[in-house]
């Protein structure tokens, strides 16, 4: 297990397919206009600086870090909203579980209001909801959060743009080359297909990868609906040894 | 077949948005009492070996405006040029230096890390790379995190033979990665990051 995870025994990461990701400049998402480089990215053969990355021990985590219903609660009062379990597996492109990696998330409350000083939306704050969570994947790459379903919210982009309900995710992987921030959406939400941020992703199949599926099997009766959201990080190429050309 | 075809596609990136601080630096976002400290806010302990420095800069957009809602992560080697082992299985120990920091930009678009000067790390060409730190920048309007490097102006000789700097054909663009030194009891290395325009920083596809 340890050998399987160790960085030194493996090769470089599979190149990022930048036609699968959103490009830097996506016209309909106006903020990208002045925040996208005009020059081409410089391709870099990966060095030790990209093949390594920070590791986080379980000692980082508090008991309620992955329970957003309770981790900001003032007097043991649960956050208001539809109770959810969001869970899934972090894998790499070779379908190998990514164990022991930090997964962080943040979101608005049930009314679509973020707890942030720059947010001025008139939907009220929930005094018992902060909106941040984190956990570390287990030996098989699984993670889970308890939270409430975020509301959609309006934003100053087009004249009447609303974000679909979403949860932001940040994942480290085992190397800085795998670092990823993304957003999770909910199955069946019609606003997913109207959103300029989602629409920056060129391929419908790539968008579909961001949509969590209702998971009746893990739904807890009389308590919380479950949604399943698997996350895929870049995979590594095997190291090619002279005496073992097929790799490992 | 030398390498099997990957069976899955990478999860596509999305912008971190304007409220990235809620999740990644909640105490900075005034969400208190959930995490004791913001992850990556402190890189040093009294036991950390190496020369104390500050790495700092502004993030500027294509119109020259300061990007005051960005989040920057820094990854670097220790003073001996070694990265902390990526996976220390089941380790709950806190090493004296993890090599990783995370800082938001302030109202003036400035990020700042209190760290140590990294040692040279072996490069793929067999020679040591010049001392550098890796920076990863996310923000509203940035659809996929931007990765760059910060080098030190007082390492001119090492910079001249650096594996990565030498991949940049135009020497004027190479200069966008070299931080200016402001001497002092704790030297400051200053590098402005230009997302777009005449002085656009070199960003990497790693």
ipTM (interface predicted TM): 0.95
Query: Residue A136's pLDDT band (boundaries 50, 70, 90)?
Result: very high
What is the mean predicted confidence (pLDDT) over B7-11?
97
Interchain CB distance below 8 Å, A210 and B35 = no
Mean pLDDT of chain A: 92
- Is residue A58's pLDDT more than 70? yes
Which chain B residues are within 8 Å of A177, Cβ to Cβ? 206
| Coil, strand or helix at B149 | strand
Dihedrals phi, psi of A50, to nearest 5 degrees:
-100, -25
Q: Which of the residues A146, A163, A174, A234 is marked catalytic? A: A163
Query: Residue A243's pLDDT band (boundaries 50, 70, 90)?
Result: very low
8-state DSSP, B204: E
Which chain B residues are within 8 Å of A151, Cβ to Cβ? none
Least confident residue range of A169-173, A226-230, B2-6, B186-190: B2-6
Pairing between strand B178-182 and B146-152? parallel
Query: Residue B1's pLDDT band (boundaries 50, 70, 90)?
Result: low
Which residue of chain A has the CA closest to B197?
A38
Higher pLDDT, B98 or A69: A69
Query: Residue A157's pLDDT band (boundaries 50, 70, 90)?
Result: very high
Which chain B residues are within 8 Å of A65, Cβ to Cβ? 34-35
Q: Which of the residues A25, A70, A83, A114 is marked catalytic? A: A114
* C-alpha separations of A211 from A21, A92, A112, A195, B119 in Å: 15, 18, 18, 13, 43
Provide CB contacts within 8 A for B152, sequence distance 6+.
B117, B130, B131, B132, B159, B178, B179, B181, B189
Position B3 scores a pLDDT of 74
* Cα B142 from Cα B13, distance rounded (Å): 10
Interchain CB distance below 8 Å, A54 and B84 = yes
* Cα A230 from Cα A209, distance rounded (Å): 8
How many contacts does A have with B, using Cβ atoms within 8 A? 295
- The answer to whether residues B197 and B179 touch, using CB atoms and an 8 Å cutoff, is no
Query: What does the pLDDT look like over B177-190, one tens digit per residue?
Result: 999 999 999 999 99
d(CA A199, nearest CA chain B) in Å: 10
Q: Is A168 a catalytic residue?
A: yes
Q: Residue holding tokens 């795998």? A: A178
């Amino acid at each position: 297990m340890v050998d399987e995870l160790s960085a030194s025994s493996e090769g470089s990461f599979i190149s990022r397919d930048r036609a699968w990701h959103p490009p830097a400049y996506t016209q309909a998402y106006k903020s990208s206009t002045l925040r996208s480089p005009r020059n081409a990215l410089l391709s870099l053969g990966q060095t030790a600086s990209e093949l390594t990355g920070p590791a986080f021990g379980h000692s980082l985590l508090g008991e309620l870090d992955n329970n957003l219903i309770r981790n900001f609660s003032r007097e043991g009062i649960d956050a208001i909203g539809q109770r959810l379990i969001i869970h899934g597996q972090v894998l790499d492109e070779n379908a190998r579980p990514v164990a022991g990696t930090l997964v962080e998330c943040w979101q608005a409350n049930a009314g679509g209001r973020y707890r942030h000083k720059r947010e001025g939306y008139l939907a009220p704050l929930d005094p018992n909801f902060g909106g941040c969570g984190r956990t570390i994947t287990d030996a098989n790459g699984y993670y889970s959060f308890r939270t409430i379903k975020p509301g959609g919210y309006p934003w100053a982009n087009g004249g009447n743009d609303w974000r679909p309900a979403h949860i932001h995710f940040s994942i480290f992987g085992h190397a800085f080359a795998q670092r990823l921030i993304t957003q999770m959406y909910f199955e069946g939400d019609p606003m997913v297909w109207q959103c300029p941020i989602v629409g920056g992703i060129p391929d419908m199949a790539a968008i579909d990868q961001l949509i969590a599926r209702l998971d009746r099997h893990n739904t807890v009766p009389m308590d919380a609906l479950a949604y399943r959201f698997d996350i895929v990080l870049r995979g590594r190429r095997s190291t090619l040894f002279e005496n073992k050309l097929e790799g490992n | 077949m030398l390498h099997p075809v990957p069976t899955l596609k990478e999860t596509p990136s999305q912008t971190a948005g304007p409220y990235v601080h809620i999740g990644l630096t909640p105490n900075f976002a005034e969400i208190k009492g959930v995490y004791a400290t913001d992850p990556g806010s402190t890189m040093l302990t009294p036991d950390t070996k190496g020369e104390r420095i500050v790495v700092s800069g502004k993030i500027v957009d294509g119109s020259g405006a300061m990007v005051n809602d960005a989040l920057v992560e820094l990854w670097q080697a220790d003073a001996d040029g070694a990265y902390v082992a990526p996976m220390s299985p089941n380790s709950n120990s806190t090493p004296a230096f993890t090599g990783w920091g995370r800082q938001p930009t302030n109202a003036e678009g400035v990020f700042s890390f209190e760290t140590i000067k990294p040692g040279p790390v072996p490069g793929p060409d067999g020679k040591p790379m010049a001392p550098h730190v890796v920076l990863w920048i996310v923000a509203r309007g940035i659809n996929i995190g931007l990765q760059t490097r910060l080098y030190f102006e007082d390492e001119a000789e090492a910079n001249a033979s650096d594996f990565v700097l030498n991949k940049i054909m135009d020497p004027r663009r190479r200069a966008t990665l070299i931080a200016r030194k402001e001497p002092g009891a704790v030297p400051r290395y200053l590098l402005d990051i230009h997302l777009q325009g005449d002085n656009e920083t070199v960003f990497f596809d790693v």
